[in-house]
A and B are shown apart, each in its own frame.
Chain A
Amino acid sequence: MSNIPVSAFLALALILFCIGLYGALTKRNTVIVLISIELMLNAVNINLVTFSKYGPAPSINGQVFALFAIAVAAAEAAVGLAILIALYRNRKTVNIDEMNQLKH
């Protein structure tokens, strides 16, 4: 498996990150936006694990960092979804473009 160049992993992470960013900025449904943010965070994990194995200066720290990133991402997703549920109960919508109450 070691024949796959490091750049392939990094490119994969970058592509995932860009897909996530695109989704987060364009999608209407808030759940999909939250999933896109997860995608961006997971792209980071791929990066970290790759660097910790094949990087110019390999070290285990990257994997530890990835574990922390996973835990924090889960917490963030949970809080985001909980807030979305509270919003849905009051407004009966999960569409981003209908969240326009606060405007000057």
Chain B
Amino acid sequence: MDMDKLLSFDWGLMAPEFLILGTATILAVLDLFLPKKINRQVLGLFGLAGIVAAIVSLVFLLDNETGSILLETFRLDSFGKAFKLLLLTGAGLVMLLAIDYKPNEGMEEYRGEFFYLFLTALLGAMMMSSSGDLITLFIGLELLSISSYILAGIRKKNTASNESAMKYVINGGISTAITLFGMSYVFGMTGSTNLRQIAAALLNVDDSQQVYILGLAFLMIFVGLSFKLASAPFHMWAPDVYEGAPTPVTAFLSVVSKTAGFVILIRIMFTVFTALPVDGEYSQTFLFANQDYIGFLAGATMIIGNVIALRQRSIKRLFAYSSIAHAGYILVAFSAMSFVMFEAIWFYLLAYLFMNVGAFAIIQLLTMKEGTEDISHFAGLYRRSPLLAVAMAIFLLSLAGIPGTAGFIGKIQIFIGALMVSPAHYVLVSIMIATTVVSYFYYFGIMTQIFFRPAAHHEKIAIQPGTAVAIIVSAAATILFGIMPQLAYGFLESNFKAFLDFLA
């Protein structure tokens, strides 16, 4: 391979990734050589600028034909573009929170790292969303995971932060190993790490023993990735990690990390396991034959997440369980596998991104102010700061799925998707409705605190500019996509053409 070949690649396809990588590298060097007295918030603004530049470059790439470089390991298709937009938007909003994050203890000398580790984690997630190879998928996943481990434990002197990072490393390590073991079987049966070549090779598999091993591989990959999604029964780490990690990191984990988890799940499952026939040619494909397992996981996740959330006192733990429940809703869309699945998942993740980041912005404001994470500190928020109270109400209503908000549209879309396939998933849909009703209790519990309980004191809450921007953008988007969802769907329709090039 010589210089001509090198220049013949269309490197422009990777422009967003290069921008993020460059920003992270420059930040790392800057942080080392800037004098101590310069406030490190500047670095956060620089990182934010990098993310915005990456979004702009991605928007310019939207019209590009589907293309791949580096021998098919990097593939820019509409799926990659759509989910990269989500990841970048989420990371940008989280960055705004991170700039304003001022913990009481334990992070003074690590401000710089705090910012660029977000960027490396984001880079991992972006690589995953447009990779066409098991190796790059795995590297992206690990880049995301390892950066998040450090982020969770970045408050070095805080025991809660240490503990949450340790739990995250152990759980993450085990799940990585399980996923990788499954991948090694997939590689072994097909002799290739390229997803499309794997799919082509699997079409010809008719040996029942090979199908059996691939079944094991499917199960292991699925279990490993369920850890990353924090779906029940592999959710035990999530509440502890969410509680101990700094608030912007919690927001990052619940939004960007979760989106990335679904990205890799869809990538692997839909390219590899739809190709594999269960027995002989022209029979059902493997993924469809195993829909029930995914459905079971979705049901369990919704029930466990919502029911345990009922008895939480810490607001961050409550949101951890709520995010588990939301992963369950998205898994319903995944297990239904209707032809609107991509749109449903994309829109739900979009809605979830805005409502969750908005809620975490307000949580960060309050917990930093009060020093504790108990729900009772939301009491009387309406008296202290009516605007914040209304914004929080919007996010909570959207999370609960009340008409007029983006969360409602997302849920409806998942319902319709699950009912329009045949056989329709009545059980899953009824579990989803029941658990949504259960979720009203805890979401409205917070609302009662905000609007009807007297405040302990009437100190005003000062809102920093970054957090304010994050809250305003999130609230506006939540309502906008709730009232006019056709904006988002029109955007999807005109730019991504129903994700037809995902498999082609």
Given A41-B177, A72-B138, are A102 and B184 neighbors across the interface (CB < 8 Å)?
no
Flag if B187 contacts A62 (CB, 8 Å): yes
Flag if B239 contacts A104 (CB, 8 Å): yes
Q: Number of residues in B with C-beta < 8 Å to the partner?
A: 51
Is B169 among interface residues, defined by CB-CB distance under 8 A?
A: yes
**Of B150-158, B333-341, B402-410, the one with at least 4 CB within 8 A of chain A:** B150-158
Is B36 among interface residues, defined by CB-CB distance under 8 A?
A: no
Is A83 among interface residues, defined by CB-CB distance under 8 A?
A: yes
Is B485 among interface residues, defined by CB-CB distance under 8 A?
A: no
Interface of B is mostly: helix
A69 to B146, CA, bound (A): 14
**B243 CB contacts on chain A under 8 angstroms:** 102
Interface string of B214-249 (1 = CB under 8 A from A): 000000000000000000000000011001100000
Flag if A91 contacts B165 (CB, 8 Å): no
Pick the contact of B169: A55, A69, A79, A90 (CB < 8 A). Answer: A79
Is A64 among interface residues, defined by CB-CB distance under 8 A?
A: yes
Pick the contact of B146: A24, A57, A75 (CB < 8 A). Answer: A75
A50 to B160, CA, bound (A): 42
B206 to chain A, nearest CB (A): 12
**B159 CB contacts on chain A under 8 angstroms:** 87, 90-91, 101
Flag if A101 contacts B166 (CB, 8 Å): no
**Of B285-293, B296-304, B309-317, B459-467, the one with at least 4 CB within 8 A of chain A:** B309-317
A17 to B185, CA, bound (A): 13
A12 to chain B, nearest CB (A): 13
Given A69-B180, A99-B166, are A104 and B192 neighbors across the interface (CB < 8 Å)?
no
Is B503 among interface residues, defined by CB-CB distance under 8 A?
A: no
Chain A interface category by residue count? 35 or more
Is B135 among interface residues, defined by CB-CB distance under 8 A?
A: yes
Interface string of A67-104 (1 = CB under 8 A from B): 01100100110011001101100110000100101111
**A99 CB contacts on chain B under 8 angstroms:** 163, 166-167
Most buried by B among A72, A101, A102: A102
Interface of A is mostly: helix
Is B170 among interface residues, defined by CB-CB distance under 8 A?
A: yes
B183 to chain A, nearest CB (A): 8
Given A24-B174, A37-B173, A44-B181, are A68 and B139 neighbors across the interface (CB < 8 Å)?
yes
Flag if B193 contacts A56 (CB, 8 Å): no
* B interface with A by C-beta (< 8 Å): 134-135, 138-139, 142, 145-146, 149-150, 153, 156-160, 162-167, 169-170, 173-174, 176-178, 180-181, 183-185, 187-193, 201, 210, 239-240, 243-244, 311-314, 317
* A interface with B by C-beta (< 8 Å): 17, 20-21, 24-25, 30, 33-34, 37, 40-41, 43-44, 47-48, 50-52, 55-59, 61-62, 64-65, 68-69, 72, 75-76, 79-80, 83-84, 86-87, 90-91, 96, 99, 101-104
9 new A-B contacts, CB < 8 A, other than A102-B167, A102-B244, are A37-B173, A43-B181, A65-B193, A72-B138, A76-B142, A80-B170, A83-B149, A83-B166, A99-B167
* Those 8 A-B pairs whose CB atoms lie nearest each other, nearest first: A57-B191, A51-B188, A40-B177, A47-B184, A87-B162, A37-B173, A102-B240, A80-B169
Cβ contacts A to B, 11 pairs, < 8 Å = A17-B177, A41-B180, A44-B180, A44-B181, A47-B188, A69-B180, A72-B142, A75-B142, A83-B149, A101-B163, A104-B312
